[in-house]
Amino acid sequence: MNLVELTSKRLDAEPFTTSDVIAENVGLSHRSLKRTITNHKNRLEHFGKMRTTFTPLSSGQTSVSYQLNERQAMLLFFYLSNTPQVEEFQERLVNQFSSMKRALIEQQAKYELGKVLNKSLATAIKESRIDMHGYEYSTFQRLIYKMALGVSISDLKKARDIKRGELITHYLSADEAQATALIRQRVNTLLDVGMNYQEIKQALSIKGVIYHIQLSLPAKAATR
């Protein structure tokens, strides 16, 4: 069971858990736990503003729950009875927060590496003197994502709701960032030895896609 989620798919996302998850795992009713949160809300919000989520129910009513970051969740445990069930859940929650933070750190590290490689790609393209009427960098970027992840840039943006002007790299997992970095390095190398675009495309196709991903696209949104 996922006890911890992320506020978004971006690199700057924050891990959080919810009041309904906590209530279910500590043996309290959600209403009772929310009452405890409300009673101590001012102190809990010393560690940031708590978000509220509203979920429509089949009965026509709306379920309200709170999102708590790690420090808020740990403080909340001080206001709960120290039962074996609470202690066991707190340990599991701490472990999941730690795992999520490690994954984010790794993702951010891959992003920083990608920034360096993007800069060197631009330099390699410029030095290659390949002329695509000003579209050299964007053309190579499309090729890199296709060979790294098996999807087009436009489909990736649609599936992850990446707004115009936002960087795609902010929305890549660590594995996806690593795959694009590897292809980018290969392109840099092939540019350095004097290959043109078509030769590079053919060379990359020999090994195929590195890390094929599946996207959930809105209806009629897929592109070829």
Model pLDDT for residues 15-32, shown as the tens digit of each residue: 999 999 999 999 999 999
Gap between the Cα atoms of 187 and 65, Å rounded: 48
Give tens-digit pLDDT for 135-166. Answer: 999 999 999 999 999 999 999 999 988 988 88
Q: pLDDT value at position 224? A: 39
pLDDT of residue 149: 95
3-state DSSP of 162-208: CCCCCCHHHHCCHHHHHHHHHHHHHHHHHHHCCCCHHHHHHHHHHHC
Q: What is the pLDDT of residues 89-116, one digit of tens each?
A: 999 999 999 988 888 877 776 666 666 5
As given in the structure block, the two tokens for residue 132 are: 């695509």
Pairing of strands 51-56, 15-18: unpaired
Chain Cα centroid distance, residue 183: 20
- Range with lowest mean pLDDT among 32-36, 137-141, 167-171, 200-204: 167-171
